[in-house]
Amino acid sequence: MAMKTKIVKINPDLVESEKIKEIARILSSGAVIVYPTETFYALGANCFSRKAIQKIYRLKKRPPSKPLSVVISDLDQIRDLVLEIPPDFETLVSVFWPGPLTLVLKASSRVPKELQSLSGSIGVRLTGYEWLRAMVRHASFPITATSANISGGEEIANPEEAVRLFDKSVNLIVDAGETKGRLPSTVLDLTGKNPRLLREGAIPFSQLKKYLLS
């Protein structure tokens, strides 16, 4: 039996407290949602809920070998996610967070295996979207930040397309209108001896290199 998908419309330039509380409450129940980011729409769930994470993989038809990254509301939330903070981390986050930079770090034992890479790492980003930071803060846990599409397909900037793909298969769709649809976040792996670029996106690697110690 198909579920009923709730749609909540928001203004992404405002922090609408009651709507944020409602979205956070739904996420806290173990739900999967579609929500807007600074770039495209994403599929979100409590990053500590294995059941919800597994559902996202099924919805996206995504191979388990491709881990999901997460969005945090503040640096305090990173403590439950990572084993250690590498030397380059502090400098990079002081310059580029909040913003479109995903940093790959060694995952703690609390992170579900479904979120980890084969080498035991996790991608983390402090979003530049104020409403999203407020919502994640209210939920009290980081949420997944994988694009709301079928694996291998185009990213979605239009809420109508998100409804077409995920109506009756997710609990909630947060409609903020058309997203900016820019480049995705840049992904930098800090788990090795030297930082390694995994994807060049909104922040050019040439900018990052200025702040790397190694």
CA angle 15, 156, 104 (to 5 degrees): 75
- Residue 137 resides in a domain: yes
Contact 172, 8 (CB under 8 A): yes
CA 191 – CA 57 distance, rounded (Å): 24
Domain total in the chain? 1
Q: What is the pLDDT of residues 116-148, one digit of tens each?
A: 999 999 999 999 999 999 999 999 999 999 999
- For the chain, the straight-line distance linking the first and the last C-alpha, in angstroms and rounded, comes to 54
- Residue 85 resides in a domain: yes
- Residue 214 resides in a domain: no
Residue 182 has a pLDDT of 79
- Residue 39 resides in a domain: yes
Q: Once rounded to an integer, what is the mean pLDDT over residues 45-62?
A: 96
Q: What is the mean pLDDT of the chain?
A: 94
- Residue 21 resides in a domain: yes
Confidence of residue 200 (pLDDT cuts 50, 70, 90): very high
Contact 8, 23 (CB under 8 A): yes
**Domain carrying residue 142:** 6-209
Percent of the chain, pLDDT > 90?
A: 90
- Residue 1 resides in a domain: no
Q: CATH number for the domain including 111?
A: 3.90.870.10
- Residue 56 resides in a domain: yes
Residue 71 has a pLDDT of 97
Residue 15 has a pLDDT of 95
Q: What predicted TM-score, i.e. pTM, was given to this entire model?
A: 0.94
- Residue 48 resides in a domain: yes
